Copies of this chain bind each other. A is one copy, B any other.
Amino acid sequence: MAKTPANGSARTPRRKDGLSRDVIIQTAIELLDGGGESALTLRALTVHLSTGYGAIYHHVADKGDLLSTATDEVFARVLTGAVVDTDPRESLRRLALGLFDAIDAHPWVAAELSRQPWRPALLDFYESIARLLDALDVPARARFDAAGTFMSYVLGEAVQNAANARHLADNGTDRAAFLDAAAAHWAEVDPGKYPFVHAAVKQLREHDDREQFLAGVDIVMAGIATLR
């Protein structure tokens, strides 16, 4: 096969296997992971899938559909891989860390998250949290506030971390160089006017993102534990 078209102005060969919504989404995720949000263009999709625009629009409503479905897919993977522990407290930490790591690995989901914070995949996440809080004897009356606070903290921290991850990927610098540059920049702030920021810079250099995140999870859980 693979015959060269006789006609010089021949179209590019059409793909043999049928296109499907799923392969489009998977390719979109690859593009997003590879080059961030700006790497996902309809043009790039047609090239990677060796197809035309209409073919894509036949399976997908628009670019927003593409982005939100890709985000759902990423979250679905997290929940599938979530390991359950017998200790609810530990399960909560693992669940939170799974989301944190997922957004770190796919920083582009943060943008989609701030556009649509209530995607179906997050319903499962909410349900899991609420169930674990119930296991921790958080009274029903307080569960609504507690679960919401927990989710807001996790998403807030994840969004911030995603911004760092994106900068790291964009500049091609490694973590140490990035933190040094950030610390050097922050160190310029007037220590007289910003004593606490100044003090934080030192900790910034030696802190571990995931440990700091978990420290926050523990703080939120300790606060929830006071609700009786």
Contacts and interface: CB of A to CB of B under 8 A. Distances in A.
Contacts of A124: 194
A132 B58 CA distance: 56
Interface string A144-178: 11111101111111011011000000000000000
A111 interface: yes
Interface stretch (A18-26, A72-80, A81-89, A113-121): A113-121
Contacts of A162: 114
Given A163-B117, A223-B221, A215 B145 contact: yes
Contacts of A32: none
A181 interface: no
Contacts of A114: 110-111, 113-114, 159, 162-163
A219 interface: yes
A36 to B, nearest CB: 11
Interface in A192-209: 193-197, 199-200, 203, 207
A213 to B, nearest CB: 9
Contact of A153 (B145, B152, B203): B152
B223 A143 contact: no
Interface string A122-148: 011011001100100000100111111
B160 A155 contact: yes
Contact of A130 (B147, B200, B215): B200
A113 to B, nearest CB: 8
Interface of A: 110-111, 113-118, 123-124, 126-127, 130-131, 134, 140, 143-149, 151-157, 159-160, 162-163, 182, 186, 189, 193-197, 199-200, 203, 207, 212, 215-216, 218-224, 226-227
8 contacts: A117-B159, A147-B196, A148-B216, A152-B156, A152-B160, A154-B156, A221-B223, A223-B223
Ordered nearest first, which 10 A-B pairs have the shortest CB separation?
A156-B156, A223-B223, A130-B196, A149-B216, A219-B223, A152-B156, A222-B223, A152-B157, A145-B215, A117-B160
